[in-house]
Structure 1
């Protein structure tokens, strides 16, 4: 395989894994509700207390890795991988420990570039496989493994055939989860209409884990539709996300992004602000900065860009560079 093509495929894989980690985090554990509520200081305190008396408690160790990933500091990723490995060493049959290692290694590889990817990619795949083996109902690990198969080149164990096998295997455990993986495959094959109809048809009212999976799949479809300039369909998907998951950032952010990409800045603004009210993150702040800049409000634009640039996890390199450039122009 051509080296440039191989490296490009690996970087695509890492981007996919990185998105999956940010979107889903780990499987359910004792501290999940606090993390969901963004009470990170409380989680840090509670896990430290737990580990003081139970140094190998799996829930506390998994939560520790999540906090490091949320913090977004690259210099703590080695610490996170050691925590995940400790979790596995003392709790080898705990699915969440293996998933946590996959998430951490995926982030390390994404930050480290191609050579890092080559060294970690097999471990990432095997971590998600083991998590599923230990807990067939670990749907976030199934989703991460699905993305691995779809994005990874065959020389590191990827491929559509393996993705299809995972769908068949998953349907035996949960037809709903299998349908959501099928929607991911349809999206990968650019069959947007089928991906949308399949994902929307899944009833997830009885399972929070499946609902989270559905939300992430629909969000991925919506953003892909924006990339393809199919804005009307994207708006419908994100509006449906707003209706189904009113307490989630995904629908409002996506709807704001879709409208903003069409130049409908005033229409986009309330959706972006609603998104920010639910959950502050760098991407929302960046888009708010662009919106206020377009509307001629320099003060609000500067404030939004500054917050976006200081936020953790931080913006992607290209977006960060643009935010810095816009901020410089606004202050010039």
Structure 2
């Protein structure tokens, strides 16, 4: 019999025998990712095939930005699928884990398992047609993946049309995402601002992500005032999310307003330390000539293990240059 580590056993004995999905959800919403993972691990020590605990641990690793452990998250999701092949949440967790791994490792390495990501989302939706998160995930896949691995806007449009009969609100969000893809930014923004924030977490996340996409598009086209306006509204509507603040910081950084950017990045890092925010913070500190602070930020960015391949390479290059000065 496998021996349970004393600390893990102590945790296991201190919690109810059955941890509910709502217990994990509350911890995740509060960004207590370590606590959520500990709760899941304690449950898994008693029941290694527990689906809710497996999914919760996968989500805690991903949302906690623990990039060095994305392989572990994928293995846990595969374990969930193997034990519960008819459970949509297990397939969704697998798609999310592999998607996080793809973002971290870059597009070329992701092509090897892109089809598995797509199939995981499709299977989740087949098993649970009303799963909004699965619909949004598959939609994103179709819009982001190349045709060679089953992506394409035509498939995204077909999925949106199918969704209209099942969930009109979700279909509106998906249509707004299509509007962004078609560069109809004002239409997408107007549609989202006309909708109240949904009480369904996955749908609210979709609303937020459309506004972030619009803000990002405005930033890319140098419409800084429009980008800031949209992102401030996103931050107001979704105060528990770090993404609008992070994007706002990027807008300030792009305009050379590094002090303002630093203040926002520090807000993000105070809530959820992550490699991307440390990397961007280091860039602004470096631009202001704050060498020691920039070095520290870059080191923390690398230590987080969540940087995409290109950002990781740039971080290493900037550290080398700073240390040689």
Which TM bucket (shorter chain)?
0.7 to 0.9
Deviations 1:17-60 (A, max 9, x none): xxxxxxxxxxx765233234343443343223322332221111
Shift of 1:103: 1.9
Tell me, yes or no, if structure 1 residue 176 matches structure 2 residue 179: no
Where structure 1 has 5 or more consecutive residues not aligned to the other structure, the ranges are 1-27
Query: Of the candidates 143, 151, 154, which is equivalent to residue 150 of structure 1?
Result: 143
User: Given the alignment, which residue of 117, 120, 127 partners 2:111?
Assistant: 117
CA distance in 1 between counterparts of 2:226 and 2:122 reads 34
1:308 aligns with 2:301: yes
TM-score normalised according to structure 1 size: 0.81
The 3 A distance-change label for structure 1 pair 238 and 293 is same
What is the CA–CA distance in structure 2 between the aligned matches of 1:210 and 1:167, rounded to whole Å? 14
Identify which of 300, 317, 320 aligns with 2:309.
317
Distance 1:115 1:252 in 2: 30
Deviations 1:89-110 (A, max 9, x none): 3323321101011123334555
Give the C-alpha shift of residue 257 in structure 1: 0.8
Go from structure 1 to structure 2 and tell me whether the alpha carbon gap of 1:293 and 1:159 turns closer, same or farther (over 3 Å shift): closer
Is the 1:180–1:202 contact (alpha carbons within 8 Å) kept by the matching residues of 2? no
Range that drifts further, 222-231 or 257-266: 222-231
In the TM superposition, 1:1-332 aligns within 5 A as 30-69=23-62, 70-73=65-68, 77=71, 79-109=72-102, 111=105, 114=108, 117-118=111-112, 120-313=113-306, 315-331=307-323, 332=325
Contact kept, 8 Å, 2:67 with 2:101, in 1: the verdict is no
Question: Alpha carbon RMSD of aligned pairs, Å?
Answer: 2.5
Can you list the C-alpha shifts for 1:122-180, whole angstroms capped at 9, x where unaligned?
Answer: 32222111212222332222122112222334443332222111111222222221111
Q: Which runs of 4+ in 1 moved over 6 A?
A: none
Q: C-alpha displacement at 1:240, in angstroms?
A: 0.6
Q: Compared with structure 1, are the counterparts of its residues 32 and 236 closer, same or farther at alpha carbon in structure 2 (3 Å cutoff)?
A: same
Per mean C-alpha deviation after superposition, the further-off stretch among 320-329 and 254-263 is 320-329
Q: From the superposition, tell whether residues 159 and 229 of structure 1 become closer, same or farther in structure 2 (CA, over 3 Å).
A: same
Counterparts of 2:108 and 2:298 in 1: how far apart (Å)? 30
User: Residue 236 of structure 2 aligns to a residue in which SS?
Assistant: helix
Q: Give the alignment's TM-score, normalised by structure 2.
A: 0.82
Is the Cα contact below 8 Å between 1:30 and 1:59 reproduced in 2? no
Aligned residue pair count: 301
